[in-house]
Amino acid sequence: MKHLLLMLFVLPAMAAASEWTSRPLGEIALYPEFRATARIEAVDESRLAPEIAGRIEALPVRVGTRVAKGAELARIDTADYRIAADRATAQVRLVESRLQLAQAQLEQSLALAGRGFISDEALRVRRTELAVLQSELAAARQALAAARLALSRTVIRAPFAGVVRERLASVGELATPGMPLLVLASTDEAEVHARVPTAQVEGLEAAGAWTLWVGEAAHPLQLVRVLSVVEAAGQARIVVFSAPVELAPGLGGEVRWRAVQPHLAPDFIVERSGRRGVWVERNGAPEFVELPGAAVGRPVPVDWPAQTRIVEEGRFGLGVPPAPVQGDAR
């Protein structure tokens, strides 16, 4: 009677442990969404500085102002440079007048030399004077070009279309060559820079579709390049994207993409003998497959065919020996 009671308890426990069902991986697989913080970075960002010294006369732009290429951003007082240009212009005219006189004198000397009134030495002196004046005129014209160039540099213009990020000076200050006045960021070719953990970079590259979310707005992206340098602090790499729409530099957002590799939900993971894995149906029987990369509470990627059958119902009872049944103490 004692043995009969024992069998009545053990058989139902064994039957319950053997009851299980399975479903194909393709029906239960997850394709989780991954996210990474991102920031819009300007391809070109210049700290604009004057090439000449002078007092700042005007700064017509403010932070956040959008400007076209060639727009006036700053102006230096032109008084000294206009004086220098006028002086150089006067010098050119002076040398031109002297040169005209020297040419007339040479022509007169040539006529007199033909009649024997002027020696060859005197004629050679006239020619030398004319050559010297021609050189002086060339130098004067170069000085005028330099003065005009300095005058043109009193106006600082935008080298490209963009947005003024910073104003580093004010009207009335004395500017010196190389002293930054403004920071201009390009808006034509802004890039999206995302910080992606190194473990997720491979999956990101395989995704094929990426989206930038800025608030409630979504923008499709194109992958441009993945930087090979790894940030030591966060073990992340910078991934660069391009966007088909104009985005303001400095804008923050989030890059999202979905995994193309199937994942199993965390509740499919069981632990047996200190190992984490899942139960898979093979040849009509459940078989425990260890997944070394499985983590508690996280979907685990698998590279199995979609028709692989995963044990669903009854998986927690598989591989667990039935509890011993204590008989009657009599």
Average pLDDT of the segment spanning 38-47: 90
For residues 258-267, average pLDDT: 90
pTM for this model (two decimals): 0.61
Q: Which of 2-6, 104-108, 246-250, 309-313 is most confident? A: 309-313
What is d(CA 146, CA 91) in angstroms, rounded to the nearest whole number? 13
Least confident of 30-34, 60-64, 123-127: 123-127
Judged on CB neighbours under 10 Å (0-12, 13-18, 19+), 261 is middle
Q: What is the span of the domain harbouring residue 106?
A: 79-152
State how far the Cα of 175 lies from the Cα of 181, in Å rounded to an integer. 8
40 is a domain residue: no
Do 145 and 93 lie in a common domain? yes
Residue 166 forms part of a structural domain? yes
Answer whether residue 86 shows pLDDT above 50: yes
Q: Is the pLDDT of residue 195 over 90?
A: yes
Count CB neighbours of 98 within 10 A. Answer: 16
What is the tally of structural domains in the chain? 3
The DSSP string of 36-82 is EEEEEE-S-EEEE--SS-EEEEE----TT-EE-TT-EEEEE--HHHH
Confidence of residue 114 (pLDDT cuts 50, 70, 90): confident
Same domain, 158 and 55: yes
Give dist(CA 292, CA 173) in Å, integer: 66
User: CATH no. for residue 105?
Assistant: 1.10.287
The answer on 104 and 89 residing in a single domain is yes
Question: Which residues lie across from 238 on neighbouring strands?
Answer: 195
CATH of the domain at 60: 2.40.50.100
In a domain, 239, yes or no: no
Taking phi over 0 as left and psi of -120 to 50 as alpha, with beta for the rest, 37 belongs to beta
Looking at per-residue pLDDT, the higher value among 110 and 281 belongs to 281
Q: Report the alpha-carbon distance of residue 231 to residue 68 in Å, rounded.
A: 36
Pairwise CA distance, residues 204 & 34, whole Å: 8
Position 7 confidence tier, pLDDT thresholds 50, 70, 90: very low
Average pLDDT over residues 322-329: 56
Tens-place pLDDT, residues 125-150: 888 888 999 999 999 999 999 999 99
Number of Cα atoms under 13 Å in the Cβ half of residue 115: 5
Q: Is residue 88 part of a domain?
A: yes
* Pairing between β-strand 210-214 and β-strand 217-231 as defined by DSSP bridges: antiparallel
Whether 310 and 274 share a structural domain: yes
Residues 69 and 105 in one domain: no
pLDDT digits (tens, 9 = 90+) for 218-242: 999 999 999 989 888 878 999 999 9
pLDDT in tens, 305-321: 999 999 988 888 887 76
pLDDT > 90 in the chain, percent: 52
Pair 293, 271 in one domain: yes
